[in-house]
Amino acid sequence: MDYPLQGPFIAQGKNPFDPIPHMPWYQIMFAHTFMHAMAVYVILGVWWIAALELVIHFATDYLKCKGELTFNQDQSIHMLCKIVWVLLFAYMV
């Protein structure tokens, strides 16, 4: 969902270090990460896994914007999270 649902507005607007003027970066970041969390919730139906997705995705994207993670590290963390979510779900059922 990072590519289909994240156009230039979200990509720049979620960045607290280079925000769009007069746009609260944290609202845009929350909207972006909430979309990811809702996708996880729709697929798995487990609210606490969706909450973990939101928190970890928010932190990861924040660190990428801050320059502490590379693009590849960011995407690797996102993919690893999806694998962990599926494994957690499989363990639960």
pLDDT 10s digits, 38-78: 999 999 999 999 999 999 999 999 999 999 999 999 999 99
For 10-66, where are the E strands, in sequence order?
none
Domain spans in the chain, listed from the N-terminal domain onward: 8-92
Q: Which two tokens stand for residue 88?
A: 């957690």
Whole-structure pTM value: 0.93
**How far apart are alpha carbons 2 and 80 in whole angstroms?**
14
The mean of the pLDDT values for the chain is: 95
Q: Please determine, for residue 2, whether its predicted confidence score (pLDDT) is greater than 80.
A: no
**How far apart are alpha carbons 24 and 75 in whole angstroms?**
24
Q: Please determine, for residue 12, whether its predicted confidence score (pLDDT) is greater than 90.
A: yes
**How far apart are alpha carbons 72 and 69 in whole angstroms?**
8
